[in-house]
Amino acid sequence: MAENPQAAPARPRPLSPHLTIYRWPVTMATSITHRVTGVGLAFGTIVLAWWLVAIASGPEPYRAFLGMSSAWPGQLVLFGLAWALAYHLLNGIRHLAWDLGYGFGVKTAAALSWTVILASAALAVAFFALAYSGYGGFLR
C-alpha cells in the first residue's frame, strides 16, 4: 500500500523551473491575457449594471452616465472593456476548440495566438472607428 500522500516526503521533491526561467512563447502570453481579460470583464459587469440602472432611473441619471462614459477616462475604460471582450471571446473559442481536441500543434497554437491578439485589437479599434465616424447609433 502507498504511504499517506499528504505526509512530508523523506527528501524534497525536485521542482520544475518556474515562470521566470522560460523565454516567453506567445502561447504563454495569450494564456495569461485570457485570465487578465476575464478578471477585467468582471468589472465590466458593474458598468453594464450601472448602465441598465441609469436607464431605469430616468433621464437625469442616464445623462450622468453618458457624461462619465463619453469623457476621455470613460472612453479609455470602455475601449479597454471592448478589447477585453473581443479578446476573451476569440481566445475563448480557441479554448473550446482545445476541449474538442483541435489546435494543439506547436505551429498552430502560435499562429492562432497571434491571430487572437491581432484580431481582438482590430475588432476593438473597428468598433470605436465605426462609433466615432457616425456608423454607430443605427438603433437610435
Q: Which of 29, 52, 111, 118 binds another protein (CB under 8 A)?
A: 52
C-alpha cell at 128: 470605436
DSSP letter at 20? G
Q: In angstroms, rounded to a whole number, what is the distance separating the alpha carbons of residues 51 and 140?
A: 16
Site for another protein, residues 2 to 31, rule: CB under 8 A: 4-6
- Taking the complex as a whole, the smallest distance from the CB of residue 76 to another protein amounts, in Å, to 16
- Taking the complex as a whole, the smallest distance from the CB of residue 9 to another protein amounts, in Å, to 17
Q: In angstroms, rounded to a whole number, what is the distance separating the alpha carbons of residues 112 and 116?
A: 6
What is the widest separation between alpha-carbon atoms in the chain? 72
Applying CB under 8 A, the span of 10-18, 20-28, 94-102, 112-120 interacting with another protein comes to 94-102
Contact 38, 88 (CB under 8 A): yes
Using CB under 8 A as the binding rule, whether residue 58 contacts another protein is answered as yes
CA angle at residue 96 from 90 to 102, to 5 degrees?
Answer: 105
Residue numbers at the binding site for another protein (CB under 8 A): 1, 4-6, 35, 38-39, 41-42, 45-46, 48-49, 52-59, 62-63, 85, 89, 92-93, 95-96, 99, 127, 130-131, 135-140
